[in-house]
Structure 1
Amino acid sequence: MAFPGAQGWAAHTPGGRGGRILRVTTLAVDGPGSFAEAIATRGPRIVVFEVGGVIDLQRRELRITEPYLTIAGQTAPQPGISFIRGGLVVAAHDVVIRHIRVRPGEAGAAKMAGLDFDAITTVRGARDVIVDHCSLTWATDENLSASSTRFLGESEREWMANASRRITFSNNLIAEGLANATHAKGEHSKGSLIHDHVNDVLIVGNLYAHNYERNPLFKGGARGQVLNNLIYDPGQRALHYNLIAEEWLGHPYSTGQMVARGNVMRAGPSTQELALFMIGGSGDVELFLEDNLAVDRLGRPLPQQGRYTTAPLKSERMRQPPPLPFGVSLLPSAQVQDAVIANAGARPWDRDDVDRRILADTIEGRGRIIDSENEVGGYPRPEPTRQIFVPGDWDLATMEPLKPLPRRAPLK
């Protein structure tokens, strides 16, 4: 498998295994030794970091178009690698991204300026992609998404084959999508969008915190499993499904599928009246809900299912769940909060102050949905650090360390 503990339909991607070791030696956005240069290199490659600190993307998206890539953020010296003022786009197959932080933010632009960044997203051509143990906050579009072309081909089978597929989002911190910021539509605090016809997607072990909605959203015909996630302080919606009829004119509706098991939703200061799962729009969905816990701020149960549509659609309850994706050991919902708090986000052994604050607020029932990164201290600006990458310290097949990594003091 890609690394010990890899899960889902993408679990056996080789990523960049066996390829060149490319060393990031500068925090400059491009040029010799840069991260941009490394991801643009052709052929299998493993990107390691000999610098720690912040890479300012300068209002750009970096696009991954070459396949067979492993981004090993765990190799960076403390404080790790954070990308700000932009985002990453995966438009290739067999890509593994681990232990990085992406914080787009408003990037100094005016409200509703149309500067819309996902922290990380996949697009058409992406398959066998794992985003694991990353911290994705302050996006002005979605924090973490699987996007695609809605109708490429002549049939539903072709639409699904050409969409992003075989995607795993595991153990990430997906938080504080900015509400009234630079998105052209206005309010846009969103966790994860799983676009129309994206399939074989696994969302497991993540912390969603302070996102108004899309925690996550599956759109028309999307199919996947949402397992053992902790959703804290959603605004209007937590899990939801929505096929938008206007976007499907001239096409027959596809039936989506969402399996949600062992998830925990806790209301917070920004939470409105909601149910764990909401269905809207115009398309049918096959649904399996099991052992999900949803409570208000006093610990009282919230509804498991609701709808925000009057269209004659069906939410068909499956009698039996599909098999669990590869590598998943499903936890009971009673164990999920502690497991996610201990494990989610980039470099759990070396969390930065942003992640530590979000986790502390989740534990203690604090925090809220925000409009700007400046409301919570602004972009991180740690001093740059340097450390030579030593191949002998790592299992180069999995990029797991062969000796313990230096730990930061735990949360108090």
Structure 2
Amino acid sequence: MCAAQAADPTTGGDGGRIIRVTTLAKDGPGSLKAAVEAKGKRTVVFEVGGVIDLERSVLQIDEPYLTIAGQTAPSPGVTIIRGGLDLKGHDVKISHIRVMTGVDGQPRLSGWEADAFSTVAAHHVVVEHCSFFWAIDENMSTSGPRFNGKTLKEWRAATSHDILFRENIAAEGLADASHPKGEHSKGSLIHDNATGIVFYRNLWAHNMERSPLVKGGAQVLMVNNMIYDPGRRAVHYNLMNLEWEGHPYVTGEITAVGNVMRAGNSTAPGLPFLTIGGDGDLAWFSKDNINVDRWGNPAPMMGRYGVTKAKVIEAPAPLASIEGYRITPAADLETDLLASVGARPWDRAPDDIRMLFFVAEGRGAVIDDEKVVGGYPHPAPTRAAFVEKDWNLATMTPKSGVYPGQKAGPQEKLSGRDKEMRK
């Protein structure tokens, strides 16, 4: 289901043993937690579909050489609720998983602050065709220490690097919820000195800020992504003196090609595509990027926050290689992207469908609580055996070409009355 042709930074657990997830329990034998904690090369497949409730906890992934293949689950696939994923290992590939964190009734400012997904000093990672909703911190991020080591090379080696995000949805980060800092509807944070970070064909929607926020000295490639309804900032760069005091500044790098930003109901009027804050400079290469207001009129491409000396340095050529990527012209991106982005596009979950329709119709807004849009899903659990001989294990694609739960024709979330009207 992937459009990219460029080499991935890892093959994960390809060639290792198969571990079957046979229970939706948060832990114990047969659980996803047990599978990710196992050692050695392994591919995790699912013989159950439904909801894994983390009960307001975070599932930590430390062990390397892992593939999590959510495409193998029976319909409706696997959705993680009331928690998130923190990836601290390396050589990991995660596909077709949904994470819906949520405030879960916790009081405002009370301290529940999970990401839906974040790497933590991880490296050589692919996260593709996942759907991340309702994070209390970021929906889809790359983090780690800033200054472990004595040199820039050591700093960068010790934090997250070589991470590919492809065909994911990062939507509806919760704003006025339980995060101790207050408003915290955020899309993606790329922490200081993280390098080799690639966003290819992702959708950010209804996040107040950080789509993405690139911090000091980080290096990011953005190709064919869509940002819909950002609130107060979309793409922004910020090297903060308060965080870098005592360390020499490092120029950050962003290469942006063929991306689209479209304002929505929550977007500040005149919001630029890129804003710069803080003290550090940003090297910036931009080609065929579009920013429009709610009615399709051109909107600013660049702005700044903070009265500082930070500069945007226009680069004459891409700062990261774009070789091997299928690049769609920005004017053609929206329809093309909405058809394929997110978990299990052949078997979409109701909230994924809702989000894609919101984007297509110019609807929706930044929210504070998952209950506003219906709350956590409660699909009935399903079971089906995983049959190895029916799958191409190197690519984790079905030999028949038909995925579990694959549906023909358009996928809509219809009310009872809608269904009657369409008969």
**Which secondary structure state, in structure 1, belongs to the residue aligned with residue 82 of structure 2?**
strand
1:63 matched to 2:57: no
Q: Match for 1:260 among 217, 240, 256? A: 256
Aligned pairs for 1:163-174 (under 5 A) are: 163-174=159-170
Q: Which residue does 2:200 correspond to in 1? A: 204
Deviation, 1:5, is 4.6
Deviation, 1:116, is 0.6
Q: Match for 2:371 among 346, 371, 374? A: 374
Deviation, 1:411, is 3.4
What is the identity, as a one-letter code, of the residue corresponding to 1:370? I
What is the identity, as a one-letter code, of the residue corresponding to 1:87? G
**RMSD between superposed Cα atoms in Å:** 1.3
**Which secondary structure state, in structure 2, belongs to the residue aligned with residue 363 of structure 1?**
helix
Distance 1:303 1:216, change over 3 A: same
Aligned pairs for 1:12-411 (under 5 A) are: 12-124=9-121, 126-273=122-269, 274-322=271-319, 324-325=321-322, 327-403=324-400, 404-405=402-403, 406-408=405-407, 410-411=410-411
Structure 2 contact 237–275 (Cα < 8 Å) conserved: yes
Deviation, 1:8, is 5.7
Deviation, 1:291, is 0.6
Deviation, 1:314, is 1.4
The C-alpha deviation readout for 1:303-360, integer Å capped at 9, x for no partner, is: 1100002111111000111353453122110111012101110000001000000000
Deviation, 1:163, is 1.4
The C-alpha deviation readout for 1:38-64, integer Å capped at 9, x for no partner, is: 000000000000000000001111111
Deviation, 1:107, is 2.3
Aligned counterparts of 1:21 and 1:55: Cα–Cα separation in 2: 20
Deviation, 1:378, is 0.2
Aligned counterparts of 2:387 and 2:3: Cα–Cα separation in 1: 24
What is the identity, as a one-letter code, of the residue corresponding to 2:354? R
What is the identity, as a one-letter code, of the residue corresponding to 1:143? N
The C-alpha deviation readout for 1:376-400, integer Å capped at 9, x for no partner, is: 0000000000000000111111111
Structure 2 contact 135–173 (Cα < 8 Å) conserved: yes
What is the identity, as a one-letter code, of the residue corresponding to 1:407? Q
Structure 1 contact 26–34 (Cα < 8 Å) conserved: yes
What is the identity, as a one-letter code, of the residue corresponding to 2:160? S
The C-alpha deviation readout for 1:94-125, integer Å capped at 9, x for no partner, is: 0000000001101231111111111110011x
Aligned counterparts of 1:6 and 1:32: Cα–Cα separation in 2: 36
State TM-score, norm by structure 2: 0.94
Aligned counterparts of 2:2 and 2:179: Cα–Cα separation in 1: 38
Aligned counterparts of 2:392 and 2:216: Cα–Cα separation in 1: 41
**Which secondary structure state, in structure 1, belongs to the residue aligned with residue 126 of structure 2?**
strand
What is the identity, as a one-letter code, of the residue corresponding to 2:411? L
State TM-score, norm by structure 1: 0.97
Aligned counterparts of 2:293 and 2:136: Cα–Cα separation in 1: 27
Aligned counterparts of 1:240 and 1:24: Cα–Cα separation in 2: 39
**Which secondary structure state, in structure 1, belongs to the residue aligned with residue 29 of structure 2?**
coil
Aligned counterparts of 2:2 and 2:390: Cα–Cα separation in 1: 17
**Which secondary structure state, in structure 1, belongs to the residue aligned with residue 67 of structure 2?**
strand
What is the identity, as a one-letter code, of the residue corresponding to 1:248? W
Question: Which ranges in structure 2 are unaligned for 5 or more consecutive residues?
Answer: 413-423
The C-alpha deviation readout for 1:244-296, integer Å capped at 9, x for no partner, is: 11011111111100011110011000000310011111111100111111100
The C-alpha deviation readout for 1:207-249, integer Å capped at 9, x for no partner, is: 1110001011100000011110111100011111011110111
Aligned counterparts of 2:399 and 2:63: Cα–Cα separation in 1: 29
Structure 2 contact 168–203 (Cα < 8 Å) conserved: yes
The C-alpha deviation readout for 1:12-37, integer Å capped at 9, x for no partner, is: 41210111100000000000100000
Q: Percent identity?
A: 53
Q: Which residue does 2:417 correspond to in 1? A: none
Bigger mean CA deviation after superposition, 266-275 or 324-333: 324-333
**Which secondary structure state, in structure 2, belongs to the residue aligned with residue 337 of structure 1?**
helix
Aligned counterparts of 2:241 and 2:356: Cα–Cα separation in 1: 38
What is the identity, as a one-letter code, of the residue corresponding to 1:182? S
What is the identity, as a one-letter code, of the residue corresponding to 2:344? R
Aligned counterparts of 1:208 and 1:318: Cα–Cα separation in 2: 25
- How many residue pairs match? The answer is 408
**Which secondary structure state, in structure 1, belongs to the residue aligned with residue 346 of structure 2?**
helix
What is the identity, as a one-letter code, of the residue corresponding to 1:302? A
Structure 1 contact 7–168 (Cα < 8 Å) conserved: no
Structure 1 contact 208–215 (Cα < 8 Å) conserved: yes
Aligned counterparts of 1:80 and 1:151: Cα–Cα separation in 2: 40
